[in-house]
Amino acid sequence: MNTFTHMQRRSLAMAVLLVTLFLAAMVPAPGALAQFATDDRIETVTSTATEISRQRENGDWFDLYDRMHPSARNLLPRQALVNWAESGELGIPSDDPTIGEVTFGAWRWNVTGEIFMDAATVQYTQSVERNGSVIEESGEWVFVDDGQRWRWFPELSADEMSTLTATVGAETNAYLPTFRRAAYVRIDRFWENVFTESELDYEAMTDIVAITSQPFETGCGIEEEIELYAIYYCTLDATVYYDPDFQEDVVDLTGPYGFTTIIAHEWGHHIQVLLGIDISLDPELDGGLYPIEIELQADCLAGIYAQDALAIGDIDEEEIEAAIEITSLSGDTADTEFDEFDAHGTGDQRVESFSTGFDDGFIGCNLDLDDYAN
């Protein structure tokens, strides 16, 4: 090897070394980078932990449920959380938690084995009432960032979650079925439970009627063209009327749960009537909602029910896909104005509303049931 070539290689090696040192100086050590990135996140997740603790203390079970991570919600029905609290096994805080160390990183949920890359583990100490006794409790809470907010996970094993879910299906109370079809009974019972837990008065829909011959007398007048409307909820007699040919087409296209989703949407209108949520063409004047807002909120309420039905095991993931498909296909045409009386929203808007109810519950639907309590 000649001297020139040797010097060339030494110069190249030195250049590589200098570049490496320069880049190393520009990139903080992993610990420093993590600390810099999480200063504000520590405050946010700590505030979330305190907020969720206060929801437990105040018995705001539905708000607490809606802040649970969707992966957990889809295995634990809404009523199961209430049952857990009423059993005395869920510790009820008597003060705000004292927060210790907060760490961020990947976390594996032992219930399903699912790995979440952006999780926060929060160490805490707190006085809680459990089974009638107040104790000092220390432990860890885990939160996962879903892109909008931190969501919590229940401190339960897979067996404990299954046991709680089973209690929902096995419940016996004074509920008397109004409807013959099991799918409608489930929707009705879900909303009765929601209203009961919220200390609201619930009345079931009067009926769900297939119009097989016309003219047909309804609470909203004589129906002679049901094929033009396909299905609707009549507020005057709290009844859903539908075209059986429409039902057959929907079932052929998406399966039975596609039509059940449409019924759940109409049930959403029944819930709006019970809560006194009114339709308006001038909301700023009378405080109601535009027709399109009424319709999208009904989609959102249908999503709330679908999530609970999935968690209980009444439906499966394929039926959720059917619900999304029929919701997408039911959108307005592109030339529909938002303030038209019959506007329902585009397919994308309707799916987004359904999915928001499914993922975020009443919070996503902009409904605080406490506002409607007596």
Predicted confidence band of residue 208 (pLDDT cuts 50, 70, 90)? very high
What band does 297 get if pLDDT is binned at 50, 70 and 90? very high
Domain count, the chain: 2
Mean of all residue pLDDT scores within the chain: 88
Q: What is the mean pLDDT of residues 48-66?
A: 96
Evaluate if residue 16 carries a pLDDT over 50.
Answer: no
Partners of 5 in the beta sheet? none
176 within some domain? no
For residue 304 the two structure tokens come to: 């709330």
- 191 and 108 share one domain: no
Segment 121-158, tens digit of pLDDT = 999 999 999 888 899 999 999 999 998 999 999 999 99
Number of H helices, E strands in the chain: 14, 10
In the DSSP assignment, the letter for residue 279 is B
The predicted pLDDT at position 131 comes to 84
- 105 and 194 in a single domain? The answer is no
| DSSP symbols for 176-217 | ----SSHHHHHHHHHHHHHHHHTT------SEEEE--SSSEE
For the residues 71-96, what does the mean pLDDT come to? 94
Full residue range of the structural domain in which residue 240 is found: 182-372
In a domain, 276, yes or no: yes
Are the C-beta atoms of residues 306 and 315 closer than 8 Å to each other?
yes
Residues 119, 152 within the same domain? yes
Report, as an integer, the average pLDDT of 157-161. Answer: 95
339-368: pLDDT as tens digits? 888 889 999 999 999 999 999 999 999 999
For range 190-199, the mean pLDDT: 94
Distance CA 320, CA 258 (A): 9
Question: Same domain, yes or no, for 148 and 246?
Answer: no
pLDDT (0 to 100) of residue 167: 85
193 shares a domain with 95:
no
- The region of weakest confidence among 29-38, 153-162, 307-316 is 29-38
